[in-house]
Structure 1
Amino acid sequence: MLRERVEATLDKVRAGLRSEGGDIELVDVRDTVVYVRLKGACGTCPMSTLTMKNWVESSIKKEVPEITSVQAI
């Protein structure tokens, strides 16, 4: 199922985020869009936009090509 594949990819990303004092929560997957919430240090980091696009979104799109975008809420 799509949600499980996204969660498995986030588990890989999560290790890196936790090493920096942050975390990420999968909120929802609707159609081809993933909604996540950055937590901890990542929630207030000025680089979080770059982290989302360059790392989280690219990782998910690579592992789950059906996904078209990742949105932080």
Structure 2
Amino acid sequence: MSNNVEQQIKEAIERMRGFIQQDGGDIRYVKFEEGIVYVEMLGACQGCAALDTTLKDGVESILVEEIPGVIAVEQI
């Protein structure tokens, strides 16, 4: 894995954190393996009915669009 790709992922997640934190949640980068970014959702995100939408329509769509090599986002 390229450290550059991992750094790009971390920077993109950091930009998204403010929006997630506005609703009482948070997101933490865990790892990047075989094109998949693994994150941990914290705070109000845990058990939230909109979690799948936040992950797939929000976080995943941004990371896939912005960072070559990212194909999906999964929650740990």
TM-score normalised according to structure 2 size: 0.91
Gaps of 5+ in 2: none
1:38 is the counterpart of 2:46: no
Residues 50-73 of structure 1 deviation map (CA, whole Å, 9 limit, x = unaligned): 110000000111110210111011
How far residue 42 of structure 1 moved from its aligned partner, in angstroms, is 0.8
Q: Distance in 2 between matches of 1:48 and 1:31?
A: 23
Partner residue, 1:6 = 9
Structure 1 portions without partners, runs of 5+: none
1:10-50 CA-partner distances (Å, limit 9, x unpaired)? 01111100111000011111121100010000112111001
Matched-pair identity in %: 30
Aligned length: 73
In angstroms, what is the RMSD of aligned CA positions? Answer: 0.8
C-alpha distance in 1 between matches for 2:19 and 2:65:
17
Moved over 4 A (4+): none
